[in-house]
Structure 1
Amino acid sequence: MTMRVARWCAMLAAGLLLAPGTGMAQPSPVDAATAQLAQAESDLRSVDRALDGRITPDQRADLRDTATGARGAALAAASQLSQQLALIDARLAQLGPSPAAGEAADIRGERARLTKQRNLLDSAVKRGRLLGVEADQLADEITQSQAEQFGQMISTRVASPVTPAFWSAVLHAAPRDTRRVAMLVAHGADSVAQGRRGALPWAAVLGLAAAVAIMLPGRLAAQRLALRLLIDGAPGHRVRRSANAIWRILVGTLAPLLATGALVAGLRWSGLQPQGWDTLFDALVAAASFAGFAASTTGALLMRHQPTWRVAPIADDVAHHLRPFSWPLAALVAFAILAQAVITATGISGAAVSATQVAEVMLHLALIVGALVAVARLRAARADADADTPARAGLGAASVVAWGMVATALIALLIGYLGFALFVVQLAAWAVILGSAVYLLMAAVDDIAVTVFTRDSPAGRILSRALGVRGTLIDQFGVLLSGVLRVMLAIAALGLLFFPFGAGDGVGSMFGRLATLASGVTVGGIFISPGAILRGLAVLFIGLTLLRAFMRWLEGKFLPATDLDGSGRNSISLVARYVGVALAVIWALASLGIGVERIALLLSALSVGIGFGLQAITSNFVSGLILLAERPIKIGDLVRIGTDEGDVKRISVRSTEIELPDHSTLIVPNSELITKTVHNKTLASPLGRIQIQFSIPIEADADAARDIIASAFAAEEAVLDDPAPAVFIDSIVDGRVFFNCFAHVASPRAAYRTRSQLFTVILRRFREDGIELGTVPQRMELIRTPGDPLPPQTQPPA
């Protein structure tokens, strides 16, 4: 296969190089692309052959990297050749279709050469894309084999540690295991004695001295230097705290790494490294580095001796009681790495490996239970001291999950699933370490982004003055950058959660492997199993949790940094919430194997029922979307619907809440606001208008009445000068002069109160000036028709 591909690539390159015009124009890209395809083909064949045998986890990772690199190279070569193919297609288009007869010989020859080149390039492009598909298949096969190995590891059952059979096997294999360990130690001692040859190993001595110098004065000096620089030059208290925490983690991790690296390098340069101890020395460096990372991360989170530099909102008593558990945790991490290295180097029996796993599980359980008991006592003491303060729900949920993991690991240990029990306790320990590091990194990212990109920072002033960027846009960019980086950190943390155990390379692969742990049935082309259902629920929970965190960031940080009013923020928040819920549901359905096309088919089947049974709800939902998009009514508007008038307090996708003057709430379906007349008094203008109508007798002084009204308007502070008040004589009817007066106030809500105050002033002034107010006096007359008799009381006496 490889020779055939090589000959084919050589023929393609020769044909393109010998061709006139196009081949000579760009020989290098085509030549490089064909060679790249051949190399990708060779790499994929080597990966395929390696998968036929037994591979180690390290080899599996290398093979995955090789397959991924070959895929990228093949697709890049196919893209490069596609560009050349497009050039040839353009030249063929210029030549036009081949006529039936009468074409010149040179044109016919050119068309034949271009057609041959096009066929070769088209085959190469298709082959490159096919190599990309093959690389994806090989990567999936590698991932599947890794998942199978992990599943086999956690599902293997041995004799229970509480049974005599387990310890009988350990005691039976103990003599041989002891001899293997003794042989390894004796071989190492002999190698060291032969390497010394009576001379002082100066390289080893210098390595030891360097290790001591790095761990003691070097590490302390680095921490003091960082504190001095942060106090003098770091912008803002938040940035100082976050930078100090990150620096402590770096120093706490790099110091053991450099110290053990210097010690091991000194031993190797002195010739004191025993043969076959490479794995042990490498494990020593890894154990020291990882233990330092664990201790420094938890220490930077708790900050027991420096509470003012603490990033997390942790009380002093909590930090004081939890800090002692950091060192046993780091020691357990180092012990696990070194124990695995010793097991690999000595090849001890399976019974001894099981006993080691039992010891690791018991030590982890003791540490976790001790920490949980300490936390429970602190919570109980705090609850007794302050009974009115509710406990934090997040801490309680974490405690419940931790106790559940402890119970699961203990049950698995008792029934013989040692691999699963060890995985659970190590996962809990790694989750604590990783969660602490990610929390500190998120805090640092948020502090730096929000501090650097703000309108008052040096960078913000430069952007504002040099580029004319508005201050609100700079604040928004800082908040948005913080949110994006924190999301990326959260995704990376989810991918790293199971990575040390060989259980996955990300969230998607982990969920994919859960399906191999349970069997199910296929219904309607959809595979349904308990594992799939649990996976869907887990995906939905993760999606809703991410949505809740996103909404908290959107409503608490991003939207307040914008120029939007309360109604605009509410509209964006509601739309984002419903879109997020929809995406979470679609993600959960997709994890169950229900694709978008099946969801569309289900919705089409339900459309008839929705049309008849949920017509009103659908109408209100669509009307709510229209209200949120067009915003004819916003939160805070003063509206009148029929005889009810009030302030809009909340707009949802189903209904709108209006607070009436008596403080009751009127809930109006959104369809009513779209299909019926609504009087919005604050939509076009926030101003309110006052109208005063009255009449005076025609004998009264109209000019004096006009002056009284004008002076009352001028004296009232709530009346605006622009638009100016106006006083009009509307009509003269039945011996009375009718006035119609107008004035404007800052808000329609102030119109009623101001109108009442004006009435009070006008009535008092009219009374003082003797101007009569009121209606036309009514008079009733009885008209007698001639010839009608008079009433008895009106007849003259006889």
Structure 2
Amino acid sequence: MRALNRLILAILLLAGGPAAHAQVGPTAEQSSQIRQAEVDLRDVDHALDARVDTDERAALRAKSLAAQAAARTAADQLEEQIALLDARVAELGPVTQDVAEAPEIQQQRARLAKTRAAIDAAAKRGKLADVEAQQLIGELDRGQAEQLNETLSTRVNSPLSPAFWSGLLASTPRDMRRVNLFVSQGVEQIGQQWRGGLPWQALLGAALAFALMFPVRVAGRQLGQRYLIGTAPGHRIRRSLYALWRVFIGTAAPLLAAFVLVQGLRWGGLFPKRWDGLLDGFVDACGFAAFTASLAGAVLMRKQPSWRIAPIADETARRVHPLILILVGIAFACIVLEAFNQAVGASPTAIAGWQMAEALVHLLWIGSFLLLLGRLRADAAAQENAEDDAADRSSTSAGLAVLTLVAWALVLTALVALAGGYVGLSLFIARLIVWIAVLAAALYLLLGTADDAATTLFSRHSPLGIALTRSVGLRGSLVDQFGVLISGALRIFMVLVALGMLMTPFGGGGGIGSFFGRLGAFAQGIEIGGVAISPGAIIRSVVVLTVGLALVRAFMSWLEKRYLPATDLDSSARNSAGLVARYVGIALAIIWALASLGIGVERIALLLSALSVGIGFGLQAITQNFVSGLILLAERPIKIGDWVRVGTDEGDVKRISVRSTEITLADHSTLIVPNSELITKTVLNKTLSSPLGRIQIQFSVPLETEVDKVLGIVLATFAAEPAVLEDPGPAAFVDSIADGRILFNCFAHVASPRDVYRARSNVFLVLLRRFGDEGIDIGTVAQRLELLSSDRAGIDDGDRKDTAPRPPAA
């Protein structure tokens, strides 16, 4: 039999072996990816042997990131192939000692082992390339940080010392000759091209630049406004999108205009090659200046206050606008002049002098802006009359005050550094403040737009929300909640991107590329306790949990609406079965989601055992109520609809959960009782064994009253009451005779304990009326009080006689 099984397995392996071997074998594409990554990493390693500047470092870093991504992807694909090979080897089973295998199986096992060794070697090469790339990236980041630290810590002669100015005057003649040479080369090139013919490329570029700068930009802004007015769903999203559109069109049009103009000049050959750095600087300056101006215009909306999304007063927008234009001019001039110094090859002393002037101009502008902001706040405080409004703005004013103090501290630090000769540090602080302000304004617009877009798109009243509620069956609140969650996720992502861009203009931290590189590394996941946690795994787990809960909900709908009504169970038993099924289904969905995250049942059991002590002490009451709830659902000593008494409270059981039981009292209030109280303490259940309620009436009549007549009146009254049942029938008994009166104890039954009070009242009303008509005295046994004189206080009770009491002696 074993030989037959081996023969069948060998035939199957021969039939599927080549296909499986071809499927799991190392592909040429993956091998070539790893080889190319290794070549690129060697090139980066050789390039780092020499000194590299900022631009070269950025290019080398991008090349290293690309090689790392390629090597990592290839290694992951090879690991998947290794897993497939291991599955094929497992199908062959272990090698049995002293048992000869079929030759075909031996060949297949050797072929699989050889293929696995080749794929494993290639995967290890990919992992090694991944590690090498990470090391090179770290080295590049350290070099970039060291270069920034060197720039910030470099000290020159203080501008307050004569040595600084003497050195600047000494280098001025040579710098002027460099400038003259640079300008003369450009003028000569322009003259040669004009003499050779009309540079139509330059004229065409200038015409296109003019068209983009003025007609196209203005028309684009107006077109966007008209479109948003006619189609946008609401004023919030309309204003946000219009502000974003103004920034886009206000930045793209001048940037394209500058690029087209420069390209026309280059195509026309009007400037020498040496001027390329200055022309590129001009394009960068136009782009940044246009972005700053359009961003300020979108935030301030000076001429369109109804479209303003920021809580800024009209007076504030009017007074801040001139300072923004000055900042735009300063930024444009600084970028162009910095490119000019690099193109000319200015001396270090001249560059230090220029950086000092730039830092001083920036600091003066920042100080002017802070002073204006302080005056605006003072004016607003003086005009504030409503105390409620002042309370609403207290938190915002406090935050603004803290930011103002920090800005003033940075300005003073930069001035001290500038006076001490740390020109690089002073310029860095000044540029950082301006860049943070620009970045914060852009982030403010993006956050508002993301929130408005997400909450408008995923709203119960939006077309998408209506489609989801009608087709999928989602509740409107779930659609709104999803919009809020999407808004929060987008805003968190934008904040992280802004933080990654914080040091981008200064060459620190790798810029936005470094941020996305770290984000990509994080996307690969981290390992915690042997479990790999990654965003993809988390998303997969959330999707699995959502699907599992949806399946539980669908099953519960079928169980409660289709299956349980077809059974003979009462409503309470159906509720118990539904609750148990729901909690079991939710538990299975959670276990399924944890399994998709990589956390198996054995890890869950280990976690529960580790938390058992904490559950025993910290969650003892919750655990006790949970177990008691399960006992109530299983044994059903109390069911939904029962009439129970807990302590002095009495009412209907309306709901039983695994933690507590809800009882509706007669005053329509709800008594929430922990399940442990119902299990461990005495509870009166009036409807557990029988749903009937009993009326009990007790009274007494004088001894001379006709007993049969009284019994007849009572039984007739019971029979006349509609709520009293015929089976079991009512009954009236003589309970006792005492103190000259006959005591009656009468009983009747009604359909429910809830009907006892009303029926008892009706019977009492009829009895009081009938006994009154018949002259029958009902009531309790009369009580007599005897007052004894002091001289008879010691007489025994047996010797006392029923005599009329005497008045006490005066």
TM (norm. structure 2) is 0.65
Tell me the CA shift for residue 284 of structure 1. Answer: 0.7
8 Å CA contact 1:298–1:326 kept in 2: the answer is yes
AA matched with 2:241: A
Aligned to 2:469: 464
Q: What amino acid is aligned across from residue 115 of structure 2 in structure 1?
A: Q
> 1:198–1:156: structure 2 CA closer, same or farther, 3 Å change rule?
same
* Distance change (3 Å), C-alpha of 1:94 and 1:232: closer
- State the 1:287 CA deviation: 0.7
CA distance in 1, matches of 2:457, 2:698: 67
In structure 1, the residue matched to 2:265 is 267
Label 1:94 to 1:625 Cα distance change in 2 as closer, same or farther (>3 A): closer
Match of 2:448 in 1: 443
Aligned equivalent of 1:47: 44
**Farther-moved stretch of structure 1 (75-84 vs 446-455):** 75-84
Instruction: Please name the residue that 1:420 is paired with.
Output: 425
Counterpart among 38, 58, 61 of residue 58 in structure 2 = 61
Contact 1:158/1:416 (<8 A) preserved? yes
- Which of 495, 502, 507 does residue 497 from structure 1 map onto? 502
Contact conserved, 1:196 with 1:271, CA < 8 A, in 2? no
**8 Å Cα contact 1:438-1:490 kept in structure 2:** yes
Work out whether 1:167 is the aligned partner of 2:168: no
Q: Is the 8 A contact 1:249 1:296 kept in 2?
A: yes
5 Å-filtered alignment, 1:95-110, equals: 95-96=92-93, 97=95, 102=100, 107-110=105-108
2:416 to 403, 411, 415: 411
- 1:108: how far off? 4.3
Q: Does 1:116 align with 2:127?
A: no
Shift of 1:502: 0.8
SS of residue paired to 1:277 = helix
Q: Please tell me whether residue 487 in structure 1 is matched to residue 492 in structure 2.
A: yes
CA separation of 1:502 and 1:785: change in aligned 2, threshold 3 A = same
Q: Is the 8 A contact 2:64 2:137 kept in 1?
A: yes
The CA deviation string for residues 508-542 of structure 1, in whole angstroms up to 9 with x for no partner, is: 989xx9xxxxxxxxxxxxxxxxxxxxxxxxxxxxx
Superimposed CA distance per residue, residues 634-680 of structure 1 (whole angstroms, 9 cap, x where no aligned partner): xxxxxx99999xxxxxxxxxxxxxxxxxxxxxxxxxx9x99999999
Residues 107/350 of structure 1: CA separation in 2 closer, same or farther (3 Å cut): same
Q: Please report how far the alpha carbon of residue 317 of structure 1 lies from its aligned counterpart in structure 2 after TM superposition.
A: 2.1
User: In the alignment, what sits opposite 2:223?
Assistant: 225
1:241 aligns with: 239
1:110, CA displacement in angstroms? 4.6
Pair 1:788 & 2:799 matched: yes
Within 2, Cα distance between the matches of 1:281 and 1:679? 92
Task: Check conservation: 2:71, 2:130, Cα contact below 8 A.
Answer: yes
Partner amino acid, structure 1, of 2:28: D
Q: Matches of 1:774 and 1:372 in 2, distance apart?
A: 95
Code of the aligned partner of 1:351:
T
CA deviation vs aligned residue, 1:438-496 (integer Å, no higher than 9, x gap) = 11111111111111111211112222223333322221221111111111111111111
1:297 pairs with 2:303:
no
What is the letter of the counterpart of residue 252 of structure 2? L
One-letter code aligned to 1:195: Q
How big is the shift at 1:199?
Answer: 2.7
Partner SS for 2:273: coil
1:780–1:405 CA distance, 2 compared to 1 (3 A):
same
Deviation at 1:148, TM superposition (A): 1.0
Q: State which of 779, 786, 790 in structure 1 corresponds to 2:783.
A: 779
- SS at 1:497 equivalent: coil
2-structure distance, mates of 1:630, 1:421: 70
- 1:730–1:420 distance in 2 versus 1, CA, 3 Å: farther
When residues 319 and 95 of structure 1 are mapped into structure 2, their CA distance, relative to the original with a 3 A threshold, is same
Deviations 1:236-274 (A, max 9, x none): 111110111001000110111111112112111211022
The code of the aligned residue for 1:122 comes to: D
Aligned partner of 2:536 in structure 1 is none
Which of 70, 74, 79 aligns to 1:73? It is 70
C-alpha displacement of 1:763: 14
1:183 matches 2:181: yes
- Indicate the SS of the match to 1:343: helix
Distance 1:786 1:253, change over 3 A: closer
2:192, 2:805 → 1: CA distance? Answer: 156
Contact 1:695-1:774 within 8 A present in 2 as well:
no
SS, match of residue 276 in structure 1: helix
Residue 35 (structure 1) aligned with residue 32 (structure 2) = yes
- Choose the corresponding residue for 1:83, options 74, 80, 85: 80
Aligned to 2:307: 309
**Residues 495 and 506 in structure 1, CA contact (< 8 A), matched pair in contact too:** yes
Deviation at 1:702, TM superposition (A): 8.3
Quote the offset at 1:93 in angstroms: 3.8
State the distance in 2 between where 1:629 and 1:199 align. 97
Structure 2 Cα separation of the partners of residues 153 and 768 of structure 1: 109
Q: Hey, what does 2:319 align to over in structure 1?
A: 321
Contact between 1:22 and 1:88, CA under 8 Å: does it hold in 2?
A: no
Partners of 1:173 and 1:494 in 2: how far apart? 40
Normalised TM-score (structure 1):
0.66
Quick one: structure 1 residues 295 and 740, their matched pair in 2 at CA, closer, same or farther if it must change by over 3 Å?
A: farther
Q: Distance in 2 between matches of 1:310 and 1:119?
A: 66
Q: CA separation in 2, counterparts of 1:705 and 1:285?
A: 106
CA contact (8 A) 1:154 1:419 kept: yes
| Matching residue's letter, 2:187 | A
Residue pair 2:458, 2:465 contacting (<8 A) in 1 also: yes
Q: Distance in 2 between matches of 1:57 and 1:34?
A: 33
- Once residues 119 and 492 of structure 2 are traced to their aligned partners in structure 1, the CA distance between those partners, rounded to angstroms, is 42
Measured after TM superposition, the shift of residue 626 of structure 1 is 10
SS of the aligned residue for 1:157 comes to coil
**Counterpart contact for 1:731–1:739, Cα < 8 Å:** no
Structure 2: tracts of 5 or more residues without a match:
1-15, 519-609, 631-644, 650-673, 684-694, 702-709, 724-729, 736-742, 758-762, 789-794
Partner of 1:15: none
Q: 1:695 to 1:120 in 2, by over 3 A?
A: same
Contact 1:253 1:289 in 2 (8 A): yes
**CA deviation digits over 1:131-189, x for unaligned, max 9?**
11111111111111111111111121222222222222211211111211121111111
Q: Are residues 126 and 765 of structure 1, via their aligned partners in 2, closer, same or farther at CA, if it must alter by over 3 Å?
A: same
Q: Does structure 2 conserve the Cα–Cα contact (< 8 Å) formed by 1:694 and 1:740?
A: no
Q: CA offsets, 1:614-635, max 9 Å, x none?
A: x9x9966887999999999xxx
Deviation by residue 1:316-338 (Cα, 9 ceiling, x = unmatched): 22222222221122222222322
Indicate the larger mover: 382-391 or 136-145: 382-391
CA distance in 2 between counterparts of 1:481 and 1:191 reads 57
Q: Which amino acid aligns with 1:404?
A: A
Q: Which residue does 1:195 correspond to in 2?
A: 193
Q: Flag structure 1 segments of 5+ consecutive residues without an equivalent.
A: 1-18, 514-603, 633-639, 645-670, 681-691, 712-727, 745-754, 756-761
Structure 1 pair 384–107 and aligned structure 2 pair: CA distance change class (3 A): closer
What is the aligned partner in structure 2 of residue 589 from structure 1?
none
CA-based RMSD of the aligned residues comes to 4.9
* Contact 2:34–2:70 (Cα < 8 Å) also in 1: yes
Q: Once the 2 structures are TM-superposed, how far is the Cα of residue 397 of structure 1 from its aligned partner? A: 2.1
Residue of structure 1 equivalent to 2:131: 133
Offset at residue 360 of structure 1 (A): 1.3
Distance in 2 (alpha carbons) for counterparts of 1:503 and 1:730 = 100
Tell me the distance in 2 between the aligned counterparts of 1:775 and 1:306: 90
Compare 115-124 and 152-161 and name the one that shifted more: 115-124
Deviation at 1:339, TM superposition (A): 2.5
SS at match of 1:335: helix
